[in-house]
Amino acid sequence: MQEEVNQKVISLSIQGVKITASVLKAALRKFLEMDNRRKQKATQVKMAEKTGRAQEKGREKARKKIEKKKPHGKQTIKQLNAQGVQLSNLKITDENIKSFDRVARKYGIDYSLKKEVGADPPKYLVFFKAKDVDVMTAAFREYVGVELKKKQVKKPSVRKKLQKSVERKAKHRQRVKQRQKSRGQER
């Protein structure tokens, strides 16, 4: 079985009047040269494909590296303008900055905060990319919903709960003392 695998058959056709050993030798040499050229061409094609893939991977890595360098989330107005996109803005109050920041990070919005000069209660302008308008509206919907829930469900502070429980215990003690006094006088 192994002998069959190791053996190869070569068919070679030569036209000639008298075939000698030198003619056969020249024909085989020509065949081997053609075979070597074909193999070299195949390896060159494979190498070109590999280098092409490597170059493509290199370009992809470079693109990702540039993307990483771009700032995301909260940034300055200069950085937003440098990205070459149109900007839009909204006004928010001082209290809401941190909670808005949380929602904006969740939605991956690139934005910039600018304090409005001359406003008595401090107000801020939020600049963001105009193409992010749909994402921004969704973020604001969630933000407004969170803010409304916070205002509706106000939990009493722990100190107030503690103070109420202390007052209840004090009243209970007074009742117990009063009962003892009244019993003592009756005897």
> pLDDT digit of tens for each residue in the chain (187 aa)?
566 667 777 777 888 888 899 988 999 899 899 989 999 998 988 888 888 887 888 888 888 887 777 777 788 888 887 887 788 777 777 666 777 778 888 888 888 888 888 777 778 888 887 777 788 788 878 877 777 777 777 777 889 999 999 998 888 766 555 555 555 555 5
pLDDT of residue 186: 55
Whether residue 129 contacts residue 86, with contact meaning beta carbons closer than 8 Å, is answered with yes
pLDDT of residue 170: 83
Closest CA to 140 of 79, 86, 91: 91
**Eight-class DSSP state of 154:** P
Look up the pTM and report it.
0.42
Q: CA-CA distance, 87 to 91, in Å (whole number)? A: 14
Q: CA-CA distance, 97 to 122, in Å (whole number)? A: 11
For residue 33, which phi and psi values (nearest 5 degrees)? Answer: -60, -45
For residue 117, which phi and psi values (nearest 5 degrees)? Answer: -80, 135
Please report the domains of the chain, with CATH numbers, ordered by start residue.
77-150 (3.30.70)
pLDDT of residue 40: 92
Report how far Cα 23 is from the mean position of its chain's Cα atoms: 70
